[in-house]
A and B are shown apart, each in its own frame.
Chain A
Amino acid sequence: MHSSTALGIFASLYRRCDKEDWIDATEHDTWQDFLKTVCPTIEIISLPDDLSADDQNNEVVRDTNQLDTKSYHELKKIPSYEKFITFANQHYIGGLPTSIVAVESLFRTWSASCDSQVAFAKQTGLYNSDYADHMRYLFEAYNIQIPYKTLPPDHLSNLLIFLSLLVENASLSDVCTFIDEHLDWLPAYLERINERADKAIWLISLTQVLIKYLTCIKETTS
């Protein structure tokens, strides 16, 4: 599977996507392909003798980079759409103690400008920071409509779609620059998921894999 496609699948999963998008992303073969793409260092060691083609939950795997294989196994257990959307309706919205909205600005200083005269300019954890402004600028500069326009321009889903376009079309250094500057907050986001939704093992695993996958992309492009 091409990286840009894999990034598009990731993008679907951090928002309250509709059922059609969910099915597209998690359909069996697509999902297998996705896992192979985003967990490139996972190697299947053996399969039980009676394993059917449709049941690979009992695979034995190892990660050739000695990384944790737990995330891989967790991601194989795809929740139903109903379970996913119930989760998303409680966690992917703002204003709740369980909110884990994947928006970059919430992990950044609001404004780097010395001129901003609002009382909260140097606070972190506010929507619509300079990083959102930059993304808005980039979408406009590249003449692209914001993919998920009901979400902030610096929502992870929008960032990943933009990255997917860079991966397809831009220079190697641009890809790395974008990952370094606009996606380096993901470890902090992972911490937030652990704080506020520690039972969301599937999402935790997905985010761990995403972080590692971005590193892979950089290493591949460099």
Chain B
Amino acid sequence: MIYPASDLSLPIALAVAFFLLLGAALALIGAIGFLRLPTFYERLHAPALGTSWGIGGIMLASMIYFTAASSSLVVHEILIGTFVTFTTPITFMLLARAALHRDRTARSHGVPRKYPIGPEERPRKDDDPQAS
């Protein structure tokens, strides 16, 4: 269904425009940060702008617009927001841990190494050195 935007009353149109611009602006700033920040770990933070309140603003705008235009409650956008919020951190963590793994293997500077050897090789507290 297509709802003409010219039918909206002014306060609702303003609210829709505000949230839409807020979301779009955050997504744009996130993209700029993604381009400009110097290191990989720093660049990881920028897209989170677009996936938190970037998507949140656009979601709210869509909910307000379609609720007002169709005169019935439209809230299924919440599902998009929920799934984006719960799935993007998994991608971020996967990318970050892959980078960390590579940097540790390459003995890069500035990357925390907890143990001089791999974590699976360090001694356990309850291990008895005599027994093995």
A binds B: no
